[in-house]
Homo-oligomer: A and B are copies of this chain.
Amino acid sequence: MAASNPLVRDRDADFLLYEVHDALRLCALPHFADHDRETFDLFLGSAARLAREQLFANYRDMDEVGSTMVDGRVRVPPAMAELWRQLCDLGLVNAGRPYGVEGGQLPSTIATVAYLYLMAGNAAAVGFALLTSGSAHLIEAFGDDALRKAFMARMYSGEWTGTMALTEPGAGSALGDLTTRAESIEGREGVYRISGSKIFISGGDNDFAENIVHLTLARRVGDPAGTRGISLFVVPRMRPTGGDLGSDTLEFNDVHTSQLIHKIGWRGLPSLGLSYGEAGDCQGWLLGEPGKGLKYMFQMMNEARILVGANATATASAAYHESLAYARERTQGRRLDRRGDEPVPLVEHPDVRRMLLRQKAIVEGSMSLLIEAGVASDLAEHGESPEERERARLILDILTPITKTFAAERGFEANNLALQIFGGYGYSSEYLPELWLREQRLNTIHEGTTGIQSLDLLGRKVVAGGGKALVVLAEAIGRDIAGARSSGVDEELAAAIEAELARAIEVTRALAGRGVSGDPIGMLGHSVDFLNLFSNLLVGWQWLRSAAAATRGLGSKPSAEEAEFYAGKIAAARYWIRTDLADNRRLAELCLSAEDSYINVADGSF
């Protein structure tokens, strides 16, 4: 069964890209002028093939083998070396980067869908590529020619890999507390002696690439405490000999692997403790201006958050299709409404159907949100006018924490339902759902926990610039409601989104008002409820868009199979809006009442 798992269905990807989100309009932008449906589909087809034939084929095995540490170096699963070559051959590391850095100059929108296939096939393997891509992108954006030549080029080509080294054992998510030191080296401008420890560094070592480049946050001696004093450094494991960026040979740069974390998933992508400068000889190159490290890193963090959302969606998608195939094949029990002699397939039981449609609503709703974010990202960078770019940027800002968290939290729920459909077999490692569940579990934690995302959304994104982002978002949703109505969508669905949009705006205003009047707890005490309310709405919006496209599709005399496909989209939209969006009334009450049971209880009362 696993062999025939599509991981992500091509028809769903096509529908969302071309019937819902009109991805081809991106080709009208000068930056993407070389692209068309054919180049998009070629890339997506290659990604799907690599995912299904190579990545997924090695998936279970890479989890079982895992990563190990031998004599201070990490060994990743042996299959990884060949997979890395294939991922690089596909052009994955710099697919979205411009021609000027040898990239494919593909829209983010298309790259994101390609990632979905690949991540659904093997998240750990793809993780190496995306970390390398993101860290090289930082050097591209903020490095001078010498740094780009010495590091970025070799990373984009896949010769070297990259990491982001933020977290420290004592500080966790509170990056302002980090203590890694950077001491200037006399006579070497822009080069610093680095010392300190990092933890949870994904891909922090491997045995398939010649070198690993750690984009490392550290504080220069004398710089202020807190986030203002943080700078970003390029710290390779092996440095050009003598620290001369022009050197063709490498020497050890005093970066050690101190610890291999025993993760419960993503076991092919090691998560490590790193120790810098144990011998006092670790050199780091300052990237961009001092004191802007966190700002720069957030370029990568925001990309990374969307990618976590993509990973979560992909992981839920693979499990959904596995459980759907199982529910169609496995016979058990009798129908509630027609007790016959023969057991029926699981898919005929209403509660199994509930678990399937719920997974579908989460997975495909999340895919749609990701593509919405992809389009916003492309328009934010390459839109025709400054106004278009600004509007897209504001929408992307709001979508980022939601895309990440919705996919991670509800994706976990979806993965859990997939396992449940397998019954007792689901509890065994002979079937894949438990592995996907383990992998999914990381996504509400890394790149900022759900709690942190909720503070980002409510404390920053929806109130930024006097709530301008929310106005722009509401306009976009309003246009889609009108569009859905003119497509002839069921009025129940359009009206629900309209009413809930109004409610979300009202809640946001009330909470922002508390913040302004000096009551941060009254504003932020229910930030996760607020995030859920917003997620329900935005996924409802995406389902309204899908229902509209499906309604148009049904009007075009489709084949019987296509008609069922479109009907499924409308059923999932209806399900989501009646079931989950219907929860927003309660969530709004909790936010508005500032329900205080956990806020004001004494610590000793837990």
Contacts and interface: CB of A to CB of B under 8 A. Distances in A.
Interface string A346-381: 011111111011101000000000000000000000
B564 A602 contact: yes
A451 B416 CA distance: 14
What is the interface of chain A mostly: helix, strand, loop, or mixed?
A: helix
A148 interface: no
Contacts of A578: 590, 593, 595, 597
Number of chain A interface residues as a range: 35 or more
Interface string A585-606: 1100110010101111111111
B446 A337 contact: no
A598 B354 contact: yes
Contacts of A199: 424
B604 A451 contact: no
Contact of A356 (B426, B527, B598): B598
A525 interface: yes
A595 B568 contact: no
Interface string A178-206: 00000000000000000000011000000
A353 B589 contact: no
Nearest to A354: B598
A575 interface: yes
Contact of A350 (B416, B521, B604): B521
Interface string A387-419: 000000000000000000000000010001001
Contact of A419 (B177, B441, B589): B441
A262 B561 contact: no
Interface stretch (A98-106, A166-174, A228-236): A166-174
A582 B575 contact: no
A601 B525 contact: no
Interface string A14-56: 0000000000000000000000000000000000000000000
B598 A357 contact: yes
Contact of A445 (B357, B426, B444, B595): B426
Given A263-B427, A564-B605, 6 more contacts: A200-B424, A336-B455, A350-B598, A358-B598, A437-B441, A571-B601
8 contacts: A171-B343, A262-B429, A263-B428, A354-B528, A354-B598, A420-B449, A420-B450, A579-B595
